[in-house]
Chain A
């Protein structure tokens, strides 16, 4: 197995000047993951954590048949994987493909083995030994009250940015796409009908109602084409990005206060099953099609940034591919429901480490998807209009000048094949991946005639689970915010009637809505600006989680093995610290928020207008947005530095202690 991994990696790394088959990357990744799982995960389990299969887990000693249930590990693996796999691992690798496929592939493989899977595994372990408590509580238990509050604040800010970025991806995919918008809009009444069905007609029949919903989705997809072409309905479903942005904000505000069984739960059924199904189908499709990679291994943009996002390989590759290699958000999942369901400590490697390897596999598939496309099409889809223009002729010319030959006819024909008006500047990853999925699926089923159907299927699948995440995330954000405010003003707590809840929901929606609106109105495409902020935030949360892991290892007196978490934590601190610093203070206006603001402020003072702003008011808006973004990045840096100080202090105290100071919760041997 190790041999196969080495050979496959060597083929990927050494092939020059001829197209490499995508299967080599897949084989290299899968073999590396298997080797890592067999050896590294086992090493961590036995030596570092010293897992004890005989020790009762919370699911055993607190069993209640509801929240705490000892669960078959295959069933739990499905639960955990479905909770961690989202849009992140699909989007980041697509954006990172601007540097060629090699840097992204290597970072996903190395990152997940040494950092991402370690983090998930470690947090699961820590939470499992402490009654299945959440990340915020764990930080408080091990590092003190103040550290807990700071971590909670950081998690809330990250939530806001994630919601804004996810919503932005939906806007980018659905703007001026009546077919796509109709099918996604159709899921709302469909979900309402499903909700009514599970509430009153056949309560609890999840499988049944999901199948009915699936039929509805396929019908919506099929009729969507006719709707899009209809002279009456077509224009009604053709919205500008700004209109869509307001629709989404309104949707988020309403959806997150509706009863959960009405809209959120049924749509979650649809999106979860569709997501898992599409991921499996993509894997099978890639294996059957065995497409060659058309993107070069390395592009000139690897050195200093390109049209899709600004900045060089270090540090920006490591924050662009966040989920898939290492994702801090998983720390919230691994300390959520999973530790309360795990039947024995012996299952922890498979759930904690294994599920994250699976997510990295999804990220690898997304990277393959972006790399099998014509690079010309890739750059036309992912570069902002401010760089390449909007007219096919002009776009083809600009992209060809970048070194990726593309003709206007190909651009127009591709859009027509997909049933879209245009595919230019559809940044955000989802549309690019949808094109790749359409290529792969239509190769297997239906041929070119089915391309448009598969494209919209892929868009629907991505938009559906992003919208579910927006809805669920707004609710979660509301509770986080209430908890935070209640620290200062107890009357704002969770059990104080409906008003604080509504206020917190409103604040939450306003916060992500602000960043969404800013991203949508940003002529550089928004993804350009917001994705790095999201990446920095997510990786900082990962650094916090790994620091917590380090603290716990010190407190367990496992000093010899702290490098397992300390090294990836240090690497993430370096990457996010550098990236955050550059985003704040880089003199290059393309990279640094403050430099960008200064450039616009200087121009505004002289009464000049800089593209894309069309008035002095818009100039002021650009400057204001830059400063908000800078403040946000600054806040993230402050949060992570504060926690670093707490972590170091705790580590030194533990080192001086002769005995373990770790605060594990030991359950009674036999459940009551």
Chain B
């Protein structure tokens, strides 16, 4: 049940272009333990800019 809810939450977030912060943390921990990590707010702002900054061609008609 909680697995389903968490998937739903992830679906909703990625629908508006927001990947999971946990995945980012896991990636940084596994591959770049030496580098500084963005906190949740910084991550959110970074992804917002990436989605809406115009580089990704927007969405469909």
Chain A residues within CB distance 8 Å of chain B: 63-67, 69, 71-72, 74-76, 78-79, 82-88, 134, 162, 165-166, 198, 203-204, 206-207, 260-261, 264-265, 268-269, 272-273, 276, 323, 327, 329-330, 332-333, 336-337, 341, 469, 472-473, 475-476, 478-479, 534, 538, 671-672
Are B31 and A66 neighbours in the complex by a CB distance under 8 Å? no
Q: How far is the CA of A253 from the CA of B48 in the complex (A)?
A: 20
Are A76 and B14 neighbours in the complex by a CB distance under 8 Å? yes
Given contacts A65-B28, A78-B15, A206-B13, contact A84 B60 (CB under 8 A): yes
Are A79 and B15 neighbours in the complex by a CB distance under 8 Å? yes
Are A333 and B59 neighbours in the complex by a CB distance under 8 Å? yes
Given contacts A69-B19, A78-B14, A268-B16, contact A85 B28 (CB under 8 A): no
Are B15 and A260 neighbours in the complex by a CB distance under 8 Å? no
What residues of chain B lie closer than 8 Å to A336, measured between beta carbons? 56-57
Task: Give the residue among A66, A71, A162, A329 with the most B Cβ atoms within 10 A.
Answer: A66
Secondary structure class of chain A's binding surface, majority of residues: helix
Chain B residue at minimum C-beta to C-beta distance from A269: B16
Chain A residue at minimum C-beta to C-beta distance from B27: A65
- How many chain B residues touch the partner (CB < 8 A)? 42
Partner of B52, one of A268, A276, A341: A268
Partner of B58, one of A85, A341, A473: A473
What residues of chain B lie closer than 8 Å to A69, measured between beta carbons? 19-20, 23-24, 27
Are B16 and A261 neighbours in the complex by a CB distance under 8 Å? no
Are A203 and B16 neighbours in the complex by a CB distance under 8 Å? no
Are B15 and A82 neighbours in the complex by a CB distance under 8 Å? yes
Given contacts A83-B59, A166-B61, A469-B58, contact A475 B53 (CB under 8 A): yes
> How many inter-chain residue pairs (CB < 8 Å) link A and B?
141
Are A265 and B48 neighbours in the complex by a CB distance under 8 Å? yes
What residues of chain B lie closer than 8 Å to A84, measured between beta carbons? 59-60
Are B16 and A476 neighbours in the complex by a CB distance under 8 Å? no
- With both chains docked as a complex, state the minimum distance between the C-beta of A668 and any C-beta of chain B, in angstroms: 13
- With both chains docked as a complex, state the minimum distance between the C-beta of B18 and any C-beta of chain A, in angstroms: 6
What residues of chain A lie closer than 8 Å to B45, measured between beta carbons? 203, 261
Are B46 and A264 neighbours in the complex by a CB distance under 8 Å? no
What residues of chain B lie closer than 8 Å to A207, measured between beta carbons? 9, 12-13
Secondary structure class of chain B's binding surface, majority of residues: helix
What residues of chain B lie closer than 8 Å to A534, measured between beta carbons? 61
What residues of chain A lie closer than 8 Å to B61, measured between beta carbons? 86-88, 162, 165-166, 323, 327, 329, 469, 534, 538
Q: Binary interface profile of B, 1-35, with partner A (CB < 8 Å = 1, else 0)?
A: 00000010111111111111101111110010000
Are A203 and B60 neighbours in the complex by a CB distance under 8 Å? no
- With both chains docked as a complex, state the minimum distance between the C-beta of A43 and any C-beta of chain B, in angstroms: 26
- With both chains docked as a complex, state the minimum distance between the C-beta of A226 and any C-beta of chain B, in angstroms: 32
What residues of chain B lie closer than 8 Å to A83, measured between beta carbons? 59-60
Partner of A88, one of B11, B26, B31, B60: B60
Given contacts A323-B61, A329-B60, A337-B17, contact A63 B48 (CB under 8 A): no
What residues of chain A lie closer than 8 Å to B53, measured between beta carbons? 260, 475
Are B57 and A134 neighbours in the complex by a CB distance under 8 Å? yes
What residues of chain B lie closer than 8 Å to A479, measured between beta carbons? 54-55
Are B60 and A327 neighbours in the complex by a CB distance under 8 Å? yes
- With both chains docked as a complex, state the minimum distance between the C-beta of B24 and any C-beta of chain A, in angstroms: 4
28 residue pairs A–B, Cβ–Cβ below 8 Å: A65-B27, A69-B20, A69-B24, A72-B7, A75-B14, A76-B14, A78-B12, A79-B11, A79-B15, A82-B15, A83-B59, A86-B60, A162-B61, A166-B61, A204-B40, A204-B44, A260-B49, A264-B52, A265-B51, A273-B15, A333-B57, A333-B59, A336-B56, A337-B51, A472-B52, A472-B59, A538-B61, A672-B31
- With both chains docked as a complex, state the minimum distance between the C-beta of A456 and any C-beta of chain B, in angstroms: 23
Partner of B47, one of A66, A269, A671: A66
- With both chains docked as a complex, state the minimum distance between the C-beta of B38 and any C-beta of chain A, in angstroms: 9
What residues of chain A lie closer than 8 Å to B52, measured between beta carbons? 260, 264-265, 268, 472, 475
- With both chains docked as a complex, state the minimum distance between the C-beta of A272 and any C-beta of chain B, in angstroms: 5
What residues of chain A lie closer than 8 Å to B51, measured between beta carbons? 260, 265, 337
